Every structure is written in structure tokens, then in C-alpha cells.
A and B are shown apart, each in its own frame.
Chain A
Amino acid sequence: MTTPQVQPPKLRFATVWLAGCSGCHMSFLDLDEWLFELAAAVEIVYSPVASDIKVFPEGVDLCLVEGAVANADNLALALQLRARSKLVVSFGDCAVSANVPGLRNLWAGVAGGSRQSVLERGYVELADRGAQHPHAPGIVPELLERVLPLHEVIAVDYFLPGCPPSAERIREFLEDLLRGERPQQQGAEQLRFG
């Protein structure tokens, strides 16, 4: 009788896309053939680029989060992923600092606030025709008044800055974590913003 080989359970890995341009995920895809090694080492349980699962699952070990928290959906997903993940990583400058999506916070102090100002500018002032505010409750999520970096909404375990973080930076970071080590995160190659 042969005893079945007991494999240690694979690390359950997720990536999430909040208010970002998807550039951080594109950089993740730039990992090219290293993605095969990653796929061998982890189970991808949720990701806009590597999974069809629509609901963020329970029991996630490691979750990379691209983007700032800019609307009600971002906020709900951020709270959910935190409750269901062991390690949460702010992935890219938008998650780390609010970066480009956070620019509308410059209008937080003016009449109507940032939410009203950005909608007015985008959908009314700059419209060629058919100018109107988007209004589809339950379909188009409401903007928050202030765009927030992820760590102002939930506890974050690691920060991986860069716009986007290079594939090399992502790989070195993940390799350390997969070896069960604390990522080095020193020097311009690992830390520089922008």
C-alpha cells in the first residue's frame, strides 16, 4: 500500500484592483515566465488578471492591493479583504499615497467638495454633448468625498511603492515573502516612489 504524498497547503494568494489605472497589475504581468514559478508556489484565489472568482474568498494568506480607496465599492472591498487576509500589501503608489486618484482631494475645500467638483468637471464641463451627472444607484458606486491611501482605511502589513513598482521589485518582494522572510525593502530599487 502506498501512502499518499502529503503536500503542504499552498499559500492562498490574491490581488485586488481598487482606484488605480491597472498599471500595477500590468507590471505584475510583466513578471513573465516567473509567473509560472509563482503559480507553482501559490494558489491564486482572487485576482482581476488571474482568476474569474467574483467574491473575495475567506482564508487568504497574502493579498496585493492596487489603488487608492475612492468610492463606496473600494471601501467595502478593502474592509472585506482585510477581514479575510493574513497579510495585506499596499501595492503601488496609489495604494501607498493615493497618488493620481488622490489629486481630486485638492478640491476638498472648495464649494461642493472634491466629489462634486470632479463629477462636474468630467461629466458636465468637458462634455461635448449630453452633459449630465452619472446617476445609477446600486450600479455606479458613489465616490467618497476624500480619496484615501489604503493604510488610512485598514491596517496594512507591507508597502510596495512605485508607479508602478517594477516587475523586478515585485519579484524580489514576493520571493522574500515566499521564503518566509521579511522583505528587505532597502535602496532605490525597492523603495523609490514614482
Chain B
Amino acid sequence: MTQASPSITLQINGQPCTVAADATLLQAIRSAGLQVPTLCHLDGLTPVGACRLCLVDLEGHPKLEPACVTTAAEGMVVHTHTPELESYRRMAVELFFAEGNHVCAFCVANGACELQDVAVEVGMDHSRFPYQYPKRHVDASHALFGLDHHRCILCTRCVRMCDEIEGAHVWDVGYRGSACSIIAGLDQPWGEVEACTSCGKCVDACPTGALFRKQDATAEKQPHPERAQQLAEARTDRRWHNQ
């Protein structure tokens, strides 16, 4: 019996691409020098396939699949930018804007926001869906940080960062449907959750202006999404960022 090959070959947008057998399609796409928009994915955290921006078309497969949670397989024929995918992606981004209260003009993350970035990437110049103006609130109970639910896109990067990297598990997803929101502790004010170590990692991971440092005013947020990967590598590979 021969040992299973450690790598597989697939085709992405007509280009052959060889990756490790356990690679995700997103890793394969990136290793081929190509890219798809992502929001919920953050290198260093477990992928969850929540935002659906990374959907790709697999030839001979009946439905579109999110690249971040799909394992690449031998012989797969992948398309990342068909007109259908591009139209769904733009629609998904418009829905993100319409679903929350995204007024970029006075957002801490203005200019450094991944939702703004993907809007540019998919060519969104306006939303065809009427804005919903949901009633949400700002949790300013923590001494150092705040959570502005108006700008939250429920990507759960904060939940995973706090659970997997910091090990404190302060955050969860509460409620259902349009009432769905990020909750601290047992749905308490953030400042009252003793498990929070005030490390700020969730703030670093948040792609939008939802989680912020209190000293940051409009357009002053400096997110650090790379920290999840740096810390994950430091722990698993004993490889430190400064070495």
C-alpha cells in the first residue's frame, strides 16, 4: 500500500494549483496568487463560513460553497469570479450595509474598515436594499473598550479570538433572526464580566467599527487582524513574531 500523497492538484480559474491535502479552498486560492473577498475569516482562528463572501463555484457541484470552510480536493475545478458569484457578493455586501446602522462618516473605523474594503472590492456604489435602521445600543460599560452594536456584522471574529486565543470566552452569539447580537458573559454589560482580561484582542480582530478603544474618535481605529495568526503560530509552532 502506498502512502497517501501529501499534496493534491486542482484547477482555479483555469490555473493548475498544488496544495497540501488538508488545505482549504481559500488557502489554495491565495497560494495561486488569486483572491476572494472575506469578512468572517481571520487567519489564526477556526473558520466558520458565516459571511458567505468567499463563495466559489465548483464545476459539477450543485451548489456554491464557501472557500474558507471547504477542503480542497484532487481534480476540483474552481471558479472564483463568475458573473453569478459577483452579483451574489455585491448583494451580500449591500445587505450588510442595509442590515445595520453603518454611517461611515463618523465611525471609529472609517478608512480602516474591512466592510468598507469589501464594498470597494465588489464595486458597491449604493445599496439597492432599503436600510433597516434596527434599534441597537452601544455597550460602553467596559473601562477601556466599547461595543457599538450598530456597526456589528456578526462575523464572530471577536467570539473566536477571545475563546481560542485569549481563552477567556467572554463573547457569545445571543438571540435569533434580526434580533441576533453579540453578547458578553451571560448577556451582561461587558464591564461586569469578570472573565474579561482587558487584553483587547477582540478589538484587534473586529473588522468594523463595532469594537473600539475608548480613546479612539472618528477614523482613529487601528485594527490589528494579524495578531490572531501571530499568536496562534507562537503557540503551536513556538514561532515568535520577533524571532
Q: Mark B105-116, 1 if CB is under 8 A from A, else 0.
A: 111001101001
Is B14 close to A, CB under 8 A? Answer: no
Residue of B nearest to A161 (CB): B125
Stretch from B63-71, B129-137, B182-190, B199-207 at the A interface: B129-137
List of A residues within 8 angstroms of B113 by Cβ: 194
Q: How far is the CA of A96 from the CA of B106 in the complex (A)?
A: 16
- Interfacial chain B residues near A98, Cβ < 8 Å: 131
B123–A191 CB distance below 8 A = yes
Instruction: Provide the residues of chain A in CB contact with B102, threshold 8 Å.
Output: 193
Which residues on B sit within 8 Å (CB–CB) of A109?
135
Residues of B with C-beta under 8 A to A102: 103, 131, 133
Q: Is A116 an interface residue (CB 8 A)?
A: no
Contact A152 B116 (CB under 8 A): no
Q: Does A137 touch B at the CB level, under 8 Å? A: no
Does A191 contact B125, Cβ atoms closer than 8 Å?
yes
Contacts of B106 in A (CB 8 A): 100
Interface size on A, residues (CB 8 A): 30
CA separation between A103 and B106, bound complex, in Å? 12
Tell me which residues across on chain A come within 8 A of B119, comparing CB atoms: 191-193
Interface-side segment among A32-40, A73-81, A182-190:
A182-190
Interface range for B: 20 to 34
**Does A105 lie at the interface of the complex (its beta carbon under 8 Å from any beta carbon of B)?**
yes
Given A100-B105, A188-B120, answer yes or no on A194-B111 (Cβ-Cβ < 8 Å): yes
> Do A106 and B105 touch across chains, with their CB atoms under 8 A apart?
no
Contacts of A188 in B (CB 8 A): 117, 120
B133 x A193 contact (CB < 8 A): no
By DSSP majority rule, is chain B's interface helix, strand, loop, or mixed?
loop
Known: A100-B106, A188-B120. A105 touches B125 (CB 8 A): no
Kindly name the residue among B104, B116, B135, B219 whose own CB sees the greatest number of chain A CB atoms within 10 A. B104
Q: Chain A residues near B111 (CB, 8 Å)? A: 192, 194
Residue among A158, A160, A163, A186 making CB contact with B104, cutoff 8 Å: A163
- Residues from chain B with a CB closer than 8 A to the CB of A106 are 101, 133, 135
Contacts of A97 in B (CB 8 A): 97, 126-127, 131
Residues of A within 8 A of B (CB): 90, 93, 96-100, 102-103, 105-106, 108-109, 149, 151-152, 156, 158-161, 163, 185-188, 191-194
**Interchain residue pairs with CB less than 8 A apart (25):** A93-B105, A96-B126, A97-B97, A99-B103, A100-B103, A100-B105, A103-B101, A105-B133, A106-B133, A108-B133, A151-B126, A156-B126, A163-B104, A185-B125, A186-B123, A187-B120, A191-B119, A191-B124, A191-B125, A192-B116, A193-B104, A193-B116, A193-B119, A194-B104, A194-B116
